[in-house]
Amino acid sequence: YQLHFDRVFRDVAYMVGANALAEEIVQESFAAALTGLRNFDGRASFESWLRGIAHNLVRRHWRTQSRRGRAYDRLEHVTPSAMGAQPGDPEAAHVQDRRAEVLKAVLEELPAAMREAFVLCDVQGLSAADAAARLDISEGNVRVRASRARALIRTELERLGWIDARGVPRGGAS
C-alpha cells in the first residue's frame, strides 16, 4: 500500500481532478485488488495491474456522473503565475483563471477515452507505449485518441475565441 499509493493517487487525481474523489477511488482500487488478488497473473507488474483497476474505476465514475453542469476539476490548482501571468497583475491573473475554467469545461466535454489518452500523454507526459500499457490498448490507438482530443480541444478553443486559427492564444475571450 505505502509503496504504490502515491503513484496511483497521482494518476487518478489527474483523471478526476478532485483530491477527495481521487483518494476514494484509490482506496476502492486497493480494496478491489485485495479481494481480487487471486486474479493477478503476473503478466504485468503489480503496480500496472493496480493502476489498471484504478483506471477502470475512474471509467466507471465517468460513466455514472452527470456530464452536464460539471467542470473538469483536474486543472483546479493551476495558478496564474504557472500559466505566465506576472505577479501583481490582476487583469492577467483574471484572464489566466478564465482560461483555466474554459479549458476545464472543454476537457469535460471530451469523450472519456479521448480525455484519458490526452491526460496521460499531454498532461502527465507519458509515452504512447506507457499510456497504452496503462489503458490496455495499442500504442497506435493511444496516439489516435490523443490526437483527436487535441484537435477537438483546438477546435472548441478557436470557436470560443480563445485561440486563433493558427492556435495562437488571444488576449481574453468573453
Has residue 9 got a pLDDT over 70?
yes
Q: What is the pLDDT of residue 13?
A: 87
Q: Label residue 29 by pLDDT band (50, 70, 90).
A: very high
Q: What is the pLDDT of residue 144?
A: 93
Tell me the β-bridge partners of 169: 163
SS (H, E, C) 44-97: CCHHHHHHHHHHHHHHHHHHHCCCCCCCCHHHCCCCCHHHCCCCCCHHHHHHHH
What is the chain's length?
174
Q: What is the pLDDT of residue 121?
A: 86
- Do the Cβ atoms of 58 and 16 come closer than 8 Å? yes
Q: Could you report the per-residue pLDDT of 100-150, keeping only the tens digit for each? A: 788 888 888 888 889 888 888 887 788 888 888 888 889 999 999 999 998
Three-state secondary structure call for residue 163: strand
- DSSP summary character for residue 38: G
Q: What is the pLDDT of residue 26?
A: 92
Lookup: cell for 5: 499509493
Q: Could you report the per-residue pLDDT of 37-48, keeping only the tens digit for each? A: 888 888 888 888
Q: How far apart are the C-alpha atoms of 112 and 118, rounded to whole Å?
A: 10
Q: Could you report the per-residue pLDDT of 49-105, keeping only the tens digit for each? A: 898 899 888 888 877 664 333 334 434 433 444 445 455 667 777 777 787 788 888
Q: How far apart are the C-alpha atoms of 56 and 116, rounded to whole Å?
A: 11
* pTM listed for this prediction: 0.53
Q: What crossing angle do the helices spanning 128-135 and 46-64 adopt, rounded to 10°?
A: 70
Q: What is the pLDDT of residue 65?
A: 64
What type of residue is 2?
Answer: Q
Residue with cell 500499457: 133
Q: What is the pLDDT of residue 79?
A: 41
Q: How far apart are the C-alpha atoms of 93 and 91, rounded to whole Å?
A: 5
Of 7 and 171, more confident:
7
Lookup: cell for 103: 479549458
Lookup: cell for 108: 469535460
Q: What is the pLDDT of residue 88?
A: 61
